[in-house]
Chains A and B, each alone.
Chain A
Amino acid sequence: MKMPGLNAMIGAFLIAVLLVIALVGLFWTPYDPMALSFTARLAPPSVDHLLGTDEFGRDVLSRIMVGARASIWIGTLTVGFATACGTAIGLLGGYSRGWIDRVVVALNNTLLAFPGILLALGLLAVFGANEYGIIFALGIAYTPSMARVVRVVVLSLREREFVEASRVMGNGALYTLLRHILPNCLAPITVLATSMFGWAILSESALSFLGLGVPPPAPTWGNMLAAGRPFIEQAVWLGLFPGLCIALTLLGINLLGDALRDRLDPRMRGTR
C-alpha cells in the first residue's frame, strides 16, 4: 500500500472515536439506556432519538454508548488475561526447553487443534454464559496463540550473546528472563495483542448475538443485534447501527494492527 501513514491514521481515528464514545457513556447518555417507553416503541431516528428506539422504546444511541463500554471492558480483560498467561507460558517453555517445553508445546497444540471460537464455546459450557465466563473462555482460548509466538522468539533470543553474557555474569534465570529476554519480546506481543483485541470484540459480540454472552437487558452490540433481528423489516436502524459499530471498530483495529505490524515486526507481514 502506498500510504501506510494514512491507513494508520484512519485506524487511530476510529479507535479514538470508540474510546471517546465509551468514556462519555460512563458518565452521560442522552437517555437512560434501560428506561422503557411504550409511547416511543420502534421510533425511527429523529432529533429526539438520533439513532431511533428499540422494541421497548429504549434509546438506541444510549444503548450503543453503554455497549461500547462492555466491548472495551471485555476485550481489555480478555487480551490482558491471554497476554499475561501466554507470555508467562511462552517464556517458561522457550527458556527452560527440555521436558517442560515439550509439555507446553503439547498442551498448546491440543488447544490450537480447536478451530475458531469452538474452544471458547466449550469453555463457556464450563464457566457459564455471562460476562466473566466470556472473559475466561476467550482468554484461555487465545492464550496458546500468544504462548506460541513468545516461545519461538525466546528460543532464538536465548542463544544470543547478551543473554549468554547475563548468564555468565551469574544472573538468575528469572532476572535474565525479565531484564533481557522479555523486553525483546514486546514488539511481537504488541502486534498480536492488537489483533487479539479485535478477535475478542468480534467473538464477544458473536457470543452475545448467540445468546451466550452478556445477558439482556444489559446492552452489548451483539445482543442488540440479536434482539433487533425480528424487527429489522419495520426498524432497519435496529439491525444497522450496532453492526456498523462492530464493523468500524474492527476496521480501526485491523488498520492499526497492519501499521503496527509493518513498523514493529516485518517478519509477521502477510499473516492473518
Chain B
Amino acid sequence: MLRFTLNRLVMAVPTLVLVSIAVFSLVRLIPGDPAALMLGDIAQPDQIAALRVDLGLDKSIVQQFVIWTGNVLRGDFGRSIVNGEPVFALVTERFLVSAQIVVLAVALAGCLAVPAGVIAAWRQNSLADLVLVGSATVLLSIPTFWLGLLLLLLFGLKLGWLPVLGYVSIRDNIAAGLIYLVLPVMTLVIHETGALIRMSRASTLEVLRLDYVTHARAKGLSEAAVLWKHVFRNAFGPTWTMIGLILGHLLGGIAVIETVFTVPGLGRLMVDSILARDYPVIQGCLLLVAVSYVVINLFVDLLYPIFDPRVVAE
C-alpha cells in the first residue's frame, strides 16, 4: 500500500512540471510583445521598455522560466495588469467559490446517479431501464448554460422562489449564501447525473455477466446481498474514476454556469481576463485548475484501493 501510494505520488511530479511549462509557454506564444500588448496602443516606448524589465522579458527564456517557477512555488503569481491585485490571492479566492459549487454538485449527482445506474443495469431492458437510460441521454445532451437559463426563468423569474442576480458568500451569511448556490448546483447535478447514470449502468452490466454473480445467486444469497456485496463493490471503480474526471472537467468548464448565475468564480475571472488580456491572471487560473485536476486525479487513484483492493496487488 505504501509503495502504491509513493508510486502514484512520484508519477504526478513530471505531469506537474510539464503542465507548468505548458502554462508558461502559452503566454509566450501570444504574438507580439506582451509588454506592448498589455499597455495598449497609447504606450510610450520607454514605458514598454520599463514593463519589459519589470516582467523580466529582457532575460533569456530559460532564465524567465526559472524565475517564474521560483515565484510560483513561493505563492507569487505576479499582479493583475487591470487592477494591480496580487494574482494568487485573487485566483484562490475565486477558486473556492467555484470549488464549493462543483464539489457539492458532483457529490449530489453521484448519490443520485450511481444507485440509478445500478438499478437500470439490474433490471436491464425493463421499462425502468429504458426510462433511466433515455432520460440520461437527454440530460447529457442539454447544454448546462441553456438548462441554467431555463431554471433561472422558472424558479427565479416566473415563480420568484430564488434570486436571479448577485451572489452572497456562505462565509458572510450561511443561509443567504446557500440560497444563491441552489440554482448553479441544481443545474450541474441535473447535467452530470446523465453522464454518471450511463457510466454506472455500463460498469454494473459488465460485472452482472460474470460467473461469481451467478454463483452468489446460486448459493442462495438475497438479491440485495448479491447486488451490494458482489456487484456494486466490483462495479464502482470506473464510476469513481469518472467522478474525478468530472470534478476536473466542471472546474475547467464552469465559466458558463457562473455567467448565467452571475457567480464571481474562477471561470468568470478567466473569461474576463481573456477579454481584458490580463495575462498574469490567465496564467494563474490555468495553472490553478490544471494543478487541481492533477491533484484530484491523484486523490481518486489513491482512494481507489478502498473500493477495489486488486489494483494495489498489480
**Which A residues form the contact surface with B (CB < 8 A)?**
1-2, 106, 109-111, 113-119, 121-126, 129, 202, 205-206, 209-212, 225-226, 229, 232-233, 236, 239-240, 242-244, 246-248, 250-251, 254-255, 258, 269-270, 272
The 6 A-B residue pairs whose C-beta atoms are closest, nearest first, are A270-B202, A116-B252, A243-B146, A118-B252, A115-B248, A115-B252
Q: How far is the CA of A239 from the CA of B147 in the complex (A)?
A: 10
The A-B contact count (CB < 8 A) is 156
| Chain A binder among B106-114, B178-186, B288-296 | B288-296
Asked whether, in the complex, the Cβ of A272 is within 8 Å of the Cβ of B130, the reply is no
A244–B29 CA distance with the chains assembled, in angstroms: 37
Q: Known contacts A116-B252, A206-B256; decide if A122 and B143 are in contact (CB<8 Å).
A: no
Q: Does the CB pair B259–A106 fall under 8 Å?
A: no
Contacts of B255 in A (CB 8 A): 121, 206, 210
Chain A residue numbers with a CB within 8 Å of B286 are: 114, 118, 121-122
Max count, chain A CB within 10 A of own CB: residue among B150, B274, B289, B294: B274
CB of B22 within 8 A of CB of A270, answer: no
> Can you show 20 pairs from A to B with CB atoms below 8 A apart?
A1-B125, A110-B15, A114-B286, A114-B289, A115-B293, A117-B253, A121-B252, A121-B270, A121-B271, A122-B23, A122-B26, A122-B286, A125-B30, A125-B282, A210-B259, A212-B271, A212-B274, A243-B149, A247-B146, A270-B199
Contacts of A239 in B (CB 8 A): 146, 149-150, 153
CA distance A210 to B145 in the complex (A): 10
Specify the chain A residue showing the minimal Cβ separation from B129: A1
Q: Residue B199 contacts which of A225, A250, A251, A272 (CB distance < 8 angstroms)?
A: A272
Min C-beta distance of B261 to chain A, whole Å? 11
A270 shortest CB reach to chain B, Å: 3
**From B137, B143, B199, B251, contact of A206 by CB (8 A):** B143
Is B250 among interface residues, defined by CB-CB distance under 8 A?
yes
* Most-contacted residue by chain A among B14, B143, B202, B286 (CB, 10 A): B143
Which chain A residue shows the least CB distance to B279? A125
Give the contacts of B16-54 with A (CB-CB under 8 A). 18-19, 21-23, 26-27, 29-31
CB pair B29 A118 closer than 8 Å: no
**Bound-state Cα–Cα, A1 to B286, Å:** 40
Closest residue of chain B to A209 (Cβ to Cβ) is B145
| Whole-angstrom distance between the Cβ of A170 and the nearest chain B Cβ | 39
CA distance A210 to B19 in the complex (A): 25
Known contacts A110-B15, A110-B19: A225-B149 contact under CB 8 Å? yes
- CB-CB < 8 A to A244: which residues of B? 146
User: What 1/0 flags go to B239-263 for Cβ under 8 Å of A?
Assistant: 0001001001111110110011000
Contact of A113 among B129, B137, B256, B293 (CB under 8 A): B293
- Flag if B143 contacts A115 (CB, 8 Å): no
Q: Which residue of chain A has its CB nearest to the CB of B31?
A: A126
> If A114-B252, A117-B252, A210-B255 touch, does A247 touch B271 (CB 8 Å cutoff)?
no
Complex interface: chain B residues within 8 A of A114 (CB): 19, 22, 252, 286, 289-290, 293
C-alpha spacing A113/B248, complex, angstroms:
9
Cβ-defined contact, A202 with B143, below 8 A: yes
Partner of B30, one of A126, A233, A269: A126
Asked if A206 and B253 make an inter-chain contact with CB atoms under 8 angstroms apart, the answer reads: yes
Contact A113 B15 (CB under 8 A): yes
| Distance in angstroms between the alpha carbons of A125 and B245 in the assembled complex | 24
Q: Shortest CB–CB separation between residue A62 and chain B, in angstroms?
A: 20
A129 to B274, alpha carbons, bound, how many Å? 9
Check if A125 sits within 8 Å of B252, measured CB to CB: no
A212 touching B275, Cβ below 8 Å: yes
Which residue in B125, B153, B245 is a CB contact (below 8 Å) of A2? B125
B208 at the interface (CB under 8 A from A): no
> When the two chains form the complex, which single residue of A126, A229, A248 contacts B26, counting CB atoms closer than 8 Å?
A126
Measured CB to CB, the nearest residue on chain A to B260 is A229
Chain A nearest CB from B293 CB (Å) reads 5
CB distance from B273 to the nearest CB of A (A): 8
Residue of B nearest to A202 (CB): B143
Docked Cα-Cα span, A125 to B23, in Å, equals: 12
**Given contact pairs A121-B255, A121-B274, A269 touches B202 in the complex (Cβ within 8 A):** yes
Contact of B302 with A by CB under 8 A = no
Q: Measured between alpha carbons, how far is A165 from B15 in the docked complex, in Å?
A: 38
